[in-house]
Amino acid sequence: MKLCVLGSGSKGQAVYVQAGHTRILFDAGFSARQLKRRLQDRGIAISDLHAVVLSHEHTDHVAGLRVLGPRLPVYATAGTFRVLKDRYDFWATETIVAGQTCELGDLSFTPMSVSHDAQEPVAFVLEDGMTRVAIVTDLGVVTRSVRHGLDDLDLAVVEANHDLDMLLNGPYPWDLKQRIKGNHGHLSNAQAAQLIAAIVHPGLKKVMLAHLSQQNNLPGLARDEVQMAIDGSGCHLTVCSQDAPTAMMDLK
């Protein structure tokens, strides 16, 4: 399996995954032009994609559907499609259900219900027969089912949205601060570190911190908080950027 986070933050999220001959985009939160450029930066043509899989309906995860929706099969939960059906045109839709594994070419993925202020949001565990990867962003609390779904990973993409002190002392109105730090909002650096400490094991090769707030977090703060959770494990930590794709990870 190969994986590249094309960008992750409050202004857009997209993760490219390749398994065998299958090329999938998990979330499409940038314009088609941006997605094309970011894919080209990693040697991928947008025409190579086989499908788009959505975690939920928020704009920073679906903005590219205006162009991709009429061209590619789109996979999402029924709740997500209910919100999006009047916004976008779709060529083909496939409804996914939390807890039910979906086979898509050489890749299988299992959606997991998460706690977020969307209609039917999910995170994902991906497998290709050799590698097991999770993409876990946009959740306010780690439920027991999410935690147990993340055993035996080779790579984890995990949200570290905000530093709690920066959020509470920042310029956002109080109701927005409450939403972000609430059970249907986003994980803080400390919550991300707690989750990663719970799932770290000798086979976990890499953790990628995603969905950092540009207003309420700093890459160094996120890195320092989470690094303590994996010290001594041999696991490598990367902080994803909103503005540029990561390197292409080849998970052999």
Of 99, 7, 108, 118, the C-alpha closest to 53 is 108
Residue 151 lies in a domain: yes
* Regions of the chain with pLDDT less than 50: none
- The tokens for 105 are 């070419």
pLDDT of 252 reads 78
Residue 137 lies in a domain: yes
Residue 123 lies in a domain: yes
pTM (2 d.p.) = 0.97
pLDDT of 217 reads 98
Residue 12 lies in a domain: yes
Rounded to 5 degrees, what angle do the CA atoms 235, 213, 240 make?
35
Residue 250 lies in a domain: no
pLDDT of 47 reads 96
The domain that contains 106 carries what CATH number? 3.60.15.10
Segment 79-133, tens digit of pLDDT: 999 999 999 999 999 999 999 999 999 999 999 999 999 999 999 999 999 999 9
Residue 114 lies in domain: 2-244
Residue 252 lies in a domain: no
Structurally, the chain folds into a number of domains equal to: 1
Residue 221 lies in a domain: yes
Count CB-CB contacts under 10 A for residue 178. 12
Q: Which residues of 33-68 are buried (b: 16+ CB within 10 A; e: fewer)?
A: ebbbebbeeeebebeebbbbbbbbbbebbbbbbebb
CA distance 139 to 143: 9
Residue 237 lies in a domain: yes
